[in-house]
Amino acid sequence: MHKQTLKLRRVAIDTYHENVAYLHRECEVYRAEGFQALSKIKISANGSKILAVLNVVDDDAIVTPLELGLSEQAYHQLNADDQCQVCVDHAEYPASMDAVRRKISGERLTLEDFTSIVDDIAESRYSKMEMAAFLVASGQNSLDRDEVYFLTRAMLQSGQRLNWAEPLVADKHCIGGIPGNRTSMLVVPIVAAHGMLIPKTSSRAITSPAGTADSMEILATVNLTPGKLHDIVRKQRGCLAWGGTARLAPVDDMLISVERPLGIDSQGQMVASILSKKLAAGSTHLLIDIPVGPTAKVRHMRQALSLRKLFEFVGDQLNIHLEVIITDGRQPIGRGIGPTLEARDVMMVLENNPKAPEDLRQKSLVLAGRIIEFDPDVRGGSGYAIARDILDSGRALEKMNDIIRAQGARSFDFTPGMHSLEVKASRTGTVTAIDNLHMAKIARMAGAPIDKKAGVDLIRKTGDAVSKGEGIYRIHAEFISDFEFAKNLVAQKDGYTIGNEEDVNRHDGFL
């Protein structure tokens, strides 16, 4: 009897959240083309099994006819030794695709359905196509609020959960979409200096020019082991760490890797994503920031209100104390966009530098004040003043420096990328609008967040007077190809609207 095994080979291709297997067209054991139309195969070695999309190879330098190649992701997931013997089999559909097909037909799914879907995704049994099918089927408003609760619970159960063994674990989260909005790096030191526990774990940017983890990484190590994280939080009452090492709600990251490139957004997915992550991080008291503005994720107050209700409903079911704050999302916050430039703005605020961006300072104080009022010993309405005292007295800066040292200080300077262009005002007048999406895209094209020093530095903001030819912002890049991409984008559109003073929409009564 023929032995149906192939030798495992690691293929140094990074297929980004999708398992890919490489089989030679002339494979001596399996008929590569017979598998291909069915798209997925099952690979087993020493009791470990994975599913992978099949690519057929005609080059022995990649895999020989006696080998099975696995992309980096697939290789790590299989967790077997290079050169070991592997078996290949036809893959069955993930069982939960049946529930996805029922959702496509408009059925309501149960907790068990969502649990089986999330488990299959967690085990990498879904291809990107299948994840897209699930996201589209549960997109827009096709999940009712009970289904959002079920999905949140299923995502929460799929990963690790941190336990801080304290009755009040504070956290904050912004739904995103506003460049420069680096408030966490101010809120955490203020709240921790007040003595409340605020163990903040953040993500890196996925499609935005910087996440909190990317900016914090300018100042300190953010990649901390769970043991070190606990030590720091116990001593400092707060941290600003990357959440990736803790495997909190891992399915969320996988869904986001499909959802973002598709550009589909759904309130239900967003709520489940945020709440499962925060509950997994052990939070008991959570402040959610929903910025509203014409180029923000949420564009109308009524949409912000319905999102707030959904957060509240699911939060109540899951027994987390949750408050929602609706903020002004009409333009970027602060001046810098990109990891280094945003870290610079944060440090200027902490240092009470008179040139620090006032909007970043004000917003952070409001958010910190709301969190401080979670403290049962704080009188309602006095949180803002407490936060301001902590910041003005330098105690917030001191706490930030303690956290930086505890996590591991990095040597840094705030010099932005060497390739630089000052973009000029196209006319004389008043800046009446700045497009969040476009400014984020320019910073992204310039290389942020991969190039820490790349990004955009705003010179003028909404309401400012400008003369034709005066600088409105600067682009910074480290890599010439990225600098060209950013310049080409600005040449198409600079993202600023300049008009008459009376056109500035001044009802900034959001806060």
Residues between 242 and 301 that touch a copy of itself (CB under 8 A): 257-258, 260-264
For residue 485, what are the contacts with CB-CB under 8 A and spacing of at least 6?
445, 446
Residue pair 307/433 in contact (Cβ under 8 Å)? The answer is no
Candidates 50, 117, 139, 348; binder of a copy of itself (CB under 8 A) is 139
By CB under 8 A, is residue 30 in contact with a copy of itself? yes
Distance CA 498, CA 277 (A): 40
Q: Does 95 bind a copy of itself (CB under 8 A)?
A: no
Give yes or no for residue 16 binding a copy of itself (CB under 8 A): yes
Catalytic option among 119, 231, 265, 464: 265
Report yes or no: 261 and 296 within 8 Å, Cβ to Cβ: no
Query: 73 or 276: whose CB is closer to a copy of itself?
Result: 73
Pick the stretch among 32-40, 154-162, 381-389, 410-418 that binds a copy of itself (CB under 8 A).
32-40
36 binds a copy of itself (CB under 8 A): yes
Q: Is 136 in the site for a copy of itself (CB under 8 A)?
A: yes
190/445 with CB nearer a copy of itself: 445
Contact flag: residue 426 with a copy of itself (CB under 8 A) = no
- The correct pick among 19, 71, 212, 407 for binding a copy of itself (CB under 8 A) is 71
Among 19, 22, 315, 403, binds a copy of itself (CB under 8 A): 22
Query: Per CB under 8 A, does 104 bind a copy of itself?
Result: yes
Lookup: tokens for 275: 């709440």
Decide if 369 contacts 394 (C-beta within 8 A).
no
* Contact predicate 464/431, CB 8 Å: yes
Contacts by residues 123-130 (CB-CB < 8 Å, ≥ 24 positions apart): 124/19, 124/50, 124/51, 124/73, 124/77, 125/51, 125/94, 126/94, 126/97, 127/18, 127/39, 127/40, 127/53, 128/17, 128/18, 128/258, 129/39, 130/94, 130/97, 130/100
Element (H, E) at 162: none
**Residue with structure tokens 């490139």?**
261
What angle (nearest 5°) sits at the alpha carbon of residue 213, between those of residues 274 and 371? 55
Closest distance of CB 435 from a copy of itself, Å: 16
Residues 440-469 contacting a copy of itself, CB under 8 A: 445, 447, 450-451
Among 95, 129, 385, 465, binds a copy of itself (CB under 8 A): 129
Task: Please say whether the beta carbons of 459 and 475 come within 8 A.
Answer: no
Using CB under 8 A, pick the residue from 44, 85, 160, 207 that binds a copy of itself. Answer: 207
61 binds a copy of itself (CB under 8 A): yes
- C-alpha to C-alpha distance for 402 and 193, rounded to whole angstroms: 10
What torsion do the CA atoms of 266, 268, 150, 278 make, to the nearest 10 degrees?
100
| Among positions 330, 482, 494, 496, the unique one binding a copy of itself when judged by CB under 8 A | 482
Stretch that binds a copy of itself, among 122-130, 311-319, 350-358, 397-405 (CB under 8 A): 122-130
Residue 144 makes contact with a copy of itself by CB under 8 A: no
Say whether 413 is catalytic.
Answer: no
Query: Looking at 46, 382, 481, 505, which residue binds a copy of itself (CB under 8 A)?
Result: 481
Q: Does 12 contact a copy of itself by CB under 8 A?
A: yes
Nearest by Cα to 127 from 206, 12, 41, 43: 41
Helix (H) or strand (E) holding 234: helix 226-236
Spatial contact of 151 and 278, defined as CB atoms under 8 Å apart: no
- Kindly state whether residue 418 participates in binding a copy of itself, applying the rule CB under 8 A: no
Q: Cβ closer to a copy of itself: 35 or 311? A: 35
Contact flag: residue 421 with a copy of itself (CB under 8 A): no
Q: Which residues are catalytic?
A: 265
